[in-house]
């Protein structure tokens, strides 16, 4: 081995000029137009498809053409930048398309039965030939079941998360976290079966003259089983995000730990906790299977969540969508639209409430 090291000339890093050649502003739209025209020519020329295929091929041609044009004029780094930007924007469009499609379908089909009758009547005594009938009972059911489930799970879930983050040490806290993780993966039907077996068939007969107690409350329990892990995990993540110096700042003022958590940590984490709770509520409101299993559905208005069958909006959609009556699909669409609107309104209201607690800048 020679001991003489030869200095290879280093590739120049320093630019000689700060100016760079740029594609004109109209280049990207021009490439897009050319790509679409070319794609249309290919597709219709060969007679192999319709407008959808033109857009797909056009998009691919656009990416290739943009890269080629930018590579020729602006250089390789800029070409890669432009291509990746275009790819990321396309990904965004692809992700939003189904959402827009769902909203559009819901609104266009759901408005047909969007009338006072739908929100004021139940399905009681509505036959296959009756165009009327509404989801009043289902709306009551959803509100009561989700409301009760929220009342149960939110305090429990937040307290559980506080235990895990602020107090839990060692194996017990680890075990709780593990089981919360396991609970996250419980299919809704299993939660429904659990409540059916445990509550409806075993516990509730004790104070129900021995009859199984199908009820909205049982549905709320099943929904609560589904909501709890979401509330715990999102609250836990939010509490962990609260900086330790804030807690120490409160401790240093002689504030006890529980008061620090209540007055400093929780308010700081509140907006995130609200988001997590709303996610849980949205999930619970859309569940069909547990409600079908333990609340049984039902066509009549039942305000009492603790007695007799109740329906819910999701269950109503399921039943109407499978109904033979030709008026049923319209009811299903309107109920679906109502459900989405309900969750949206709740989310917006919760966000506004959480924001009101923060100070204006």
Partner 1 sequence: MAKRIEASNVTAYYGNFKAIENINLTVEPKTVTALIGPSGCGKSTFLRSINRMHEVLPGARVEGSLTIDDQDIYQRDVDVTAVRRMIGMVFQRPNPFPTMSIFENVVAGLRLNGIRKKSILDEAAEKALRSANLWDEVKDRLAKPGAGLSGGQQQRLCIARTIAVEPQVVLMDEPCSALDPISTLAIEDLMFQLKDKFTIIIVTHNMQQAARVSDRTAFFSIEKTGDPGRLIEYDNTQRIFSNPSVKKTEDYITGRFG
Which positions lie near partner 1, rule CB under 8 A? 169, 243, 245-256, 259-260, 263-264, 267-268, 270, 357-361
Q: What are phi and psi of 2, to 5 degrees?
A: -80, 145
**Minimum Å distance from CB 243 to partner 1?**
7
Nearer to partner 1, 89 or 263 (CB): 263
- Would you call 114 exposed, middle or buried from its count of C-beta atoms within 10 A (0-12, 13-18, 19+)? middle
Do the beta carbons of residue 225 and residue 191 sit within 8 Å? yes
**Minimum Å distance from CB 260 to partner 1?**
8
Nearer to partner 1, 139 or 250 (CB): 250
**Minimum Å distance from CB 110 to partner 1?**
40
Nearer to partner 1, 8 or 169 (CB): 169
Q: Cα–Cα distance between 303 and 311 in angstroms, integer?
A: 11
Q: Cα–Cα distance between 284 and 198 in angstroms, integer?
A: 20
**Minimum Å distance from CB 360 to partner 1?**
8
**Minimum Å distance from CB 262 to partner 1?**
9
Nearer to partner 1, 107 or 255 (CB): 255
SS3 call for 229? helix
Do the beta carbons of residue 142 and residue 314 sit within 8 Å? yes
Look up residue 192 and give its two tokens: 């429904």
Question: How many CB atoms within 10 Å of residue 13?
Answer: 5
Query: How far lies 168's CA from each of 161, 337, 338, in Å?
Result: 9, 43, 42
* Alpha carbon distance, N-terminus to C-terminus of the chain: 69
Q: Cα–Cα distance between 139 and 338 in angstroms, integer?
A: 9
Q: Cα–Cα distance between 27 and 39 in angstroms, integer?
A: 18
Question: How many CB atoms within 10 Å of residue 213?
Answer: 20
Nearer to partner 1, 125 or 357 (CB): 357
**Minimum Å distance from CB 313 to partner 1?**
36
Q: Scanning the structure block, which residue is given the tokens 């059916």?
A: 196
Nearer to partner 1, 55 or 270 (CB): 270
**Minimum Å distance from CB 361 to partner 1?**
6
Nearer to partner 1, 93 or 246 (CB): 246
């Amino acid at each position: 081995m020679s001991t003489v090291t030869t200095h290879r000339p280093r590739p120049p890093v320093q630019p000689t000029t700060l100016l760079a050649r740029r594609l004109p502003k109209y280049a990207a739209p021009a490439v897009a137009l050319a790509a679409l025209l070319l794609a249309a020519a290919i597709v219709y020329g060969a007679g192999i498809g319709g407008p959808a295929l033109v857009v797909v091929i056009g998009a691919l041609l656009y990416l290739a053409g943009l890269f080629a044009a930018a590579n020729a004029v602006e250089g390789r780094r800029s070409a890669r930048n432009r291509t990746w930007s275009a790819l990321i924007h396309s990904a965004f469009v692809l992700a939003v398309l189904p959402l827009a499609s769902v909203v559009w379908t819901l609104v266009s089909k759901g408005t047909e039965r969007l009338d006072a009758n739908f929100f004021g009547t139940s399905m009681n005594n509505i036959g296959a030939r009756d165009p009327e009938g509404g989801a009043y009972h289902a709306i009551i059911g959803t509100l009561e079941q989700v409301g009760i489930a929220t009342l149960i799970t939110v305090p429990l879930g937040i307290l559980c998360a506080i235990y895990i983050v602020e107090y839990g040490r060692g194996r017990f806290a680890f075990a709780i976290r593990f089981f919360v993780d396991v609970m996250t993966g419980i299919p809704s039907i299993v939660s429904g079966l659990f409540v059916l077996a445990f509550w409806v068939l075993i516990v509730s007969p004790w104070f129900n003259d021995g009859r199984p107690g199908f009820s909205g409350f049982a549905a709320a329990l099943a929904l609560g089983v589904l909501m709890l892990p979401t509330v715990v995990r999102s609250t836990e993540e939010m509490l962990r995000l609260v900086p330790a110096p804030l807690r120490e700042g409160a401790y240093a003022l002689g504030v006890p730990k529980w008061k620090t958590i209540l007055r400093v940590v929780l308010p700081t984490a509140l907006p995130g906790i609200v988001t997590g709770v709303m996610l849980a509520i949205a999930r619970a409101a859309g569940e069909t299977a547990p409600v079908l299993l333990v609340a049984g559905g039902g066509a009549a208005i039942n305000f009492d969540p603790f007695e007799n069958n109740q329906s819910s909006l999701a269950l109503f959609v399921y039943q109407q969508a499978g109904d033979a009556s030709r008026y049923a699909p319209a009811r299903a669409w309107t109920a679906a639209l109502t459900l989405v609107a309900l969750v949206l309104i709740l989310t917006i209201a919760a966000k506004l409430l959480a924001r009101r607690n923060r100070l204006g800048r």
